[in-house]
Amino acid sequence: MTTGTPFRGLSAFPLTPADEHGRVDTETLARLVERLCEAGVDSIGLLGSTGIYAYLSREERRRAVEAASECGRGRVPLVVGVGTLRTDHAVDLARDAEAAGADALLMAPVSYTPLTQDEAYEHYHAVTGASGLPLCIYNNPGTTHFTFGIDLLARLSRLPTIRAVKMPLPAGGDFAGELASLRGRTQLAVGYSGDWGTADAMLAGADAFYSVLGGTLPRLVLALVRAAQAGDAEEARRLDGVLQPLWDTFKTYGSLRVMYAILDVAGLGRAEPPRPILSLKAEARKQVLAAVEPLLASG
């Protein structure tokens, strides 16, 4: 297990390269993890949405954790996603992740039948009872169609292993107001995702940013996060401006599809998104290439 605080600073989320049958390419994954360790990110977020957790079997998820843990052990904290539909399966995944070397857990309330606030609470309560690892709540309503009420977050924050929450970008951009509300009701470390909000979130005082781009081009995103942490708004805004063309492709095509294209363009590996998700077509890839090529030298 790695010492350190997994829910502060830049948490970088790499792709989980896998073949068409959902078998993880552990060699390419290990290279991506090595790149993140060398860059000095604050934590690695494995098997998040960018890590296609919902498309992988239990066995493949464990293989991914083992490969990442073997590479990063003792260097960078490894936060592992254990979201899945059934509570008993989430319990199994949490135990698997802990046994395979994870330092912390990340869990979204994945659902088909919409969950109530009480059902989500019981889901998290069961998983925290199965593992002693610190856990980050993954609030991702765009994917899960579940939104955490502040009362539920306050209730969950009283469970002994729940230490953090990963929030979507706030409607209207009121980071300061949301941070004040969350900190007034909970003791959770508050982080955000949605890469085009990195500068705003960190300048507003968020504890962490959970970055898709940071999983592949860590140095550039880390520079932005460090500038914001230091209160250097001018430099943070400058770097955000450099990244704006890429943020535009995220918004247009979806960050997951864009990251598969970047993996190829950057020469870091070849992988296809899990079907039914399709790779970007030629014109879209051309736009991604134009946005990312100027960044590769500093990524």
Active site residues: 138, 166
Ramachandran angles phi, psi of 276, nearest 5°: -90, 5
Ramachandran angles phi, psi of 286, nearest 5°: -60, -40
Give CA–CA dist 6/52, Å, rounded: 21
Give CA–CA dist 18/25, Å, rounded: 5
Annotated binding site: 50
Q: Are 218 and 192 in contact (CB under 8 A)?
A: no
Annotated binding site for pyruvate: 50
User: Terminus-to-terminus CA distance in the chain, angstroms?
Assistant: 28
Ramachandran angles phi, psi of 97, nearest 5°: -60, -45
CA angle 131-134-140, nearest 5°? 105
Give CA–CA dist 116/103, Å, rounded: 29
Beta-sheet strands, E only, within the chain: 9-12, 43-46, 78-81, 104-107, 135-138, 162-167, 189-192, 208-211
Token couple for 36: 């993140």
Give CA–CA dist 30/10, Å, rounded: 19
Rg of the chain's alpha carbons, rounded to an integer? 18
Please give the biggest Cα pair distance in the chain: 50
